[in-house]
Amino acid sequence: YIMVKIKKENETKKERFIRLAENRTKSVLSGLRILGNCSNSKYYEYNREDVDLIFIEIEKKTKEIKNLFYSEMYKTKSKIEKFSLKR
């Protein structure tokens, strides 16, 4: 399976964000659903520690990526709101 880089002509930054974020979010959710298949104890053996380790990592990465978004959103705004004595 080959991934093709698609560049939409005249695509706005918002449109590109929506297109890519939707597809990437769907991939993440699909991966989580597939991971959920491992919960079937008829086929897999695991314990509470295994489950906790999995979700600690997932939650850590989720928080990290969310913070990236917030950091970028407020980066420009914080520069604008810096204190200055200039009038």
3-state secondary structure 13-51: HHHHHHHHHHHHHHHHHHHHHHHHHHHCCCCCCCCHHHH
pLDDT, tens digit, 9 for 90 and up, residues 8-43: 789 999 999 999 999 999 999 999 999 999 999 999
Note the Cα 62 to chain centre separation in Å. Answer: 6
The pLDDT of 51-78, averaged and rounded, is 91
Q: What is the pTM of this model?
A: 0.71
CA–CA dist 55, 48 (Å, integer): 11
If one compares 7 and 3, the residue with the highest pLDDT of the two is 7
> For residue 45, what pLDDT is reported?
98
> For residue 8, what pLDDT is reported?
72
Average pLDDT, the chain: 88
Residues in the chain: 87
